[in-house]
Amino acid sequence: MKGIRQLAEHLDISIGTVSRALNGKPDVNEETRKRVLAAAEELGYVANQSGRSLRQGTTNVIGLMIESSKETIEDSDNFFLGLTSGLQSVLARHKLDLIMLPCPTDEDPYEYLKRMVARRVVDAMIISATQRVDKRIDLLSKAKIPFVSLGRSLSSGNSSWIDLDFDGVANSAVDRLVAHGHRRIAIAAPSNEINLGYIFLDGYRRALERHGIAYDPSLVIRVKTSEQGGYQAGHELLQIDNRPTAVILIYELMAIGLYRRLTEAGVIPGHDLAVIGFREEPRAKFLQPALTCFRMSLHDLGVELAETLLATMPAYSHFYPDSERNMIWPLKLIPGESDSFHLMAAE
């Protein structure tokens, strides 16, 4: 790669003049500027931003750490790609670029992040898949790397986060099912330590209590957050004595596997069992009967995440004076046919 020195030698002009021409300074005549830019293009000169960044202490790059499991890849989970357009629309205002940091499936996310922090490839981070106790938050705080987490955590402290309204979703789902006469309402929850599972389950439990329904741990089905997990949830649900009449799913693509397992057993969703899914997903749109689920805009969430992050960065915070440090992101109920039947009073 050609550096500024080679460029100056090639043109037989001083390094200072070449530098001023490249940086658009006014004290270079137009003809010289054109010659310099043409030669830079021809010789493949690339500004050494690594050097520039080191002087400024910045990379102008924002990282989005993603954890893709074998399951989410096979499910073609589009969640993170869906966030990029919103994130980039905000970052572009400030000439910042977004890169995605995919944590390998077999690596500990904390160790991975530690290495990426040491590599200093980014000025700031967005982390996701927040665990109930998440050491990554302490790591970033100590390293003084601005960050926002998609998902709150017991470790959050004063740090910035945006989280989906799992509590609101659990409440709406339980209210709706109870209004349709259901009392035995199962829930398919993630089998890992991801914090959203705890929040969702708490919301479900409190919503049941509000309706005077005792919490029954045997109705909590722990499965992987995948289509396959949904299939497994269907399988376990069919084996519960005094079978529940309704089920709430925490992950969007579970519905596809659940429908498949129920259909195999001759149990018709929306007729023999009420089903409420989580986030509306393009693929789940083709399910018959139509799935009752919750809508949100990934683009808008990306915008909000970027603005919340920039508000924590000294160089940009003045652009976002009104940004909230923490936000619960609402989802809107989209009624379908999967939970539209009413249980008889005799039940």
Interface positions with a copy of itself (CB under 8 A):
1, 43-44, 46-51, 53-54, 59-61, 63, 68, 70, 72-78, 81-82, 84-85, 88-89, 92, 97-102, 104-105, 115-121, 139, 141-145, 281-283
Q: CB 81 → a copy of itself: shortest distance, Å?
A: 5
N residues, the chain: 347
Strands 274-279 and 332-334: unpaired
Q: CB 117 → a copy of itself: shortest distance, Å?
A: 5
Evaluate the CA torsion angle 74, 286, 166, 220 in order and state its sign. Answer: negative
Q: CB 31 → a copy of itself: shortest distance, Å?
A: 24
Name the nearest CA neighbour of 161 among 60, 332, 311, 322. 311
DSSP-derived 3-state class of residue 89: helix
Q: What is the distance between the alpha carbons of residues 128 and 168, in angstroms, rounded to a whole number? A: 20
Q: Distance from CA of residue 254 to its chain's centroid?
A: 17
Q: CB 85 → a copy of itself: shortest distance, Å?
A: 6
Closest CB to a copy of itself among residues 100, 213: 100
Q: What is the distance between the alpha carbons of residues 124 and 90, in angstroms, rounded to a whole number? A: 14
Q: Distance from first CA to last CA of the chain, Å, rounded?
A: 77
Q: CB 162 → a copy of itself: shortest distance, Å?
A: 20
Closest CB to a copy of itself among residues 71, 175: 71
Query: Taking a C-beta distance cutoff of 8 angstroms, is the pair 154, 194 a contact?
Result: no
| Two tokens, residue 53 | 């960044």
Closest CB to a copy of itself among residues 91, 174: 91
Closest CB to a copy of itself among residues 158, 242: 158
Closest CB to a copy of itself among residues 80, 341: 80
Closest CB to a copy of itself among residues 139, 189: 139
Helix (H) or strand (E) holding 197: helix 195-210
Question: 1: how many CB neighbours lie within 10 A of its CB?
Answer: 8
Query: Taking a C-beta distance cutoff of 8 angstroms, is the pair 227, 254 a contact?
Result: yes
| Two tokens, residue 138 | 């302490």
Closest CB to a copy of itself among residues 187, 287: 287
Q: What is the distance between the alpha carbons of residues 267 and 247, in angstroms, rounded to a whole number? A: 13
| Two tokens, residue 82 | 């869906």
Closest CB to a copy of itself among residues 104, 335: 104
Q: CB 115 → a copy of itself: shortest distance, Å?
A: 7
